[in-house]
Structure 1
Amino acid sequence: MFNLTPTVRNLLLINLAVFLAQENLRNIPITQLGSLYALGSPYFHFWQLFTYMFLHGSWGHIFSNMFGLISFGPLLEQRWGGQRFLAFWLMCGVGAGVLYEGVRSYELHKLDAIYTDVVRSPNAGDYDQFMTQSGFKQAEDEAAAGALQRNPNDPELKQAIVQHVEQIYNVIHNSPHAGMLGASGALFGILFAFAYLFPNTELFLLFIPFPVKAKYFVFFYGAYELYSGVHQAPGDNVAHFAHIGGLLIGFIILKFWESGRARFY
């Protein structure tokens, strides 16, 4: 079914081997050491900008990424050759991680400012904004914000609000489970390259009952990721801006190669 080219096959095997190591070598903190944490986190290390793309969080996670790799990668490797394909994959993955770090740092900077306001002077508006920005907002948080608005001088309620905010803040900044991982950033670069070079190739997707041209599929998929990143729903732990980063880096690399008249057609 799949005509695996050498580099695609090697990437598939490496990712599977690393995931099996994550699953079975529990005494070695592979996931914690290799996932990409926010700048300023006690768990951040510079090598994570590279290693995060070889780690995955579940069998479903690695299956979806590797399925995309073996579906779209071979034709690109046949056009470019193994070395160029590997360079493209790695550059898209690292670039996606860098963009994610930038967006994450900006979001955390805004969250830090709101956190300071809540702790210094608890009020319903700032508390609601903090919980919304943090992504941890639940129905009980809305109820607590409403109670604080009705009783703004209740010392016990204000203390409970501050303690809850501090707990969430600590989870966001210091939790060992807050790292980003997965090959999705690199894969989105591959998706863009495929749509760029083979725009009218018809794709038959499981969740769409009719063929879709690659250029339309990637355009709408990218638009969905951008919307989901800007309007991220509570509980959504997908790194949408890493996906957008992969698309953007893929575009930049291809235009750079074009300007240098590189042979990739």
Structure 2
Amino acid sequence: MRRTPYVTYALIAANVLVFLFTPGIADSVAGGSDLAQLCHLQAFMDHYAAVPRELIHHQMPQTVPTGQVGLGRNGPGCVVGPPGYDKSPALSVLTAMFLHGSWLHLLGNMLFLLIFGNNVEDRMGHIRYLLFYVVCGYAAGYGFALVNASSGDPLIGASGAIAGVLGAYLVLYPTARVWVLVPFLVFLPLRLPAWLVLGFWFVLQAVYSSGEGVSDAGTVAYAAHVVGFLAGMVLAWPLKRGTPPPPEPRGLLFGRQARPRHSW
């Protein structure tokens, strides 16, 4: 690698820190939360997550979770009331990029960012890569909101921005080979070209975004993945000409085959 991927490392660190300091998140993912913690977490997410209805129509809710616990007709529950804050829908797209709902959600995203982000940052440079990441995240957030304009469900996660990184990697390094685990009776490690791995990933996201083949299409923002990926491809296309093959890491890290003459 020609440049140390400081921005990629910083993004990973920021996502992890935000996750750890999100109110109630550590206990909720460990299964030890009480109702008060869950109400606090819900209020925090509604405040800082991106909501399609707010992004497209600027329809701010009249009542939101307050973070307090109350007793209703059906027993204890989270209290709702008028929002005690002014929320910027446009800014919420940025804050939502650093929010995750579980360790699996967080670690899956960070793994993809670590694997593919370093070479894209190397090609773009630190500042341009950071701007690229944010733009892809915004494209994904607003793209998802456009096709779900009436939805009041909060949208969180770095997936849209990271999908942009994957799209850029496909454009810049289509023939680079990566190791993947292919299920065939057992998981077989195969070294396949990036265009096949990432192209297959994109097709799956596009199919899932239509609601086909999955039962949880409403809880995963597949459309955001599709839009982010396409945005990444478009933004990276001017850099395609003259892009050298990516330097290979020393040893084997999630797949790119080692070449001892290069350093990670």
Q: TM-score, normalised by structure 2?
A: 0.65
Q: Displacement of 1:36 after TM fit? A: 1.3
Contact 2:164/2:230, CA 8 A, preserved across alignment: yes
Q: Displacement of 1:15 after TM fit? A: 0.5
1:240 to 195, 219, 222: 222
Residue segments in structure 1 that go unaligned for 5+ positions in a row: 109-171
Q: Is 1:9 paired with 2:9?
A: yes
State the SS of the aligned residue for 2:181.
coil
Question: Per residue, is there more helix in 1 or in 2?
Answer: 1
Question: Identity over aligned residues, as a percent?
Answer: 27
Counterpart for residue 225 of structure 1: 205
Q: Counterpart amino acid of 1:224?
A: L
Q: Is 1:65 paired with 2:65?
A: no
Greater relative CO, 1 or 2 (CA 8 Å, sep 6+): 1
Contact 1:37/1:180, CA 8 A, preserved across alignment: yes
How many residues matched? 191
Counterpart for residue 86 of structure 1: 130
Counterpart for residue 49 of structure 2: 35
Q: Displacement of 1:212 after TM fit? A: 1.7
The Cα offsets for residues 9-45 of structure 1, whole Å up to 9 and x where unpaired, read as 1101111111111154855743222211121352673
Counterpart for residue 197 of structure 1: 172
Q: Counterpart amino acid of 1:71?
A: I
State the SS of the aligned residue for 2:97.
helix
Counterpart for residue 90 of structure 2: 46
Structure 1 residues 206 and 34, CA gap change in structure 2 (3 angstroms): farther
Question: Hey, what's the Cα distance between the residues in 2 that align with 1:264 and 1:90?
Answer: 22
User: What RMSD in Å do the two structures reach over aligned CA positions?
Assistant: 2.5
Question: Hey, what's the Cα distance between the residues in 2 that align with 1:31 and 1:19?
Answer: 11
Q: Report the structure number with the largest CA radius of gyration.
A: 1
Counterpart for residue 162 of structure 2: 187
The Cα offsets for residues 117-153 of structure 1, whole Å up to 9 and x where unpaired, read as xxxxxxxxxxxxxxxxxxxxxxxxxxxxxxxxxxxxx
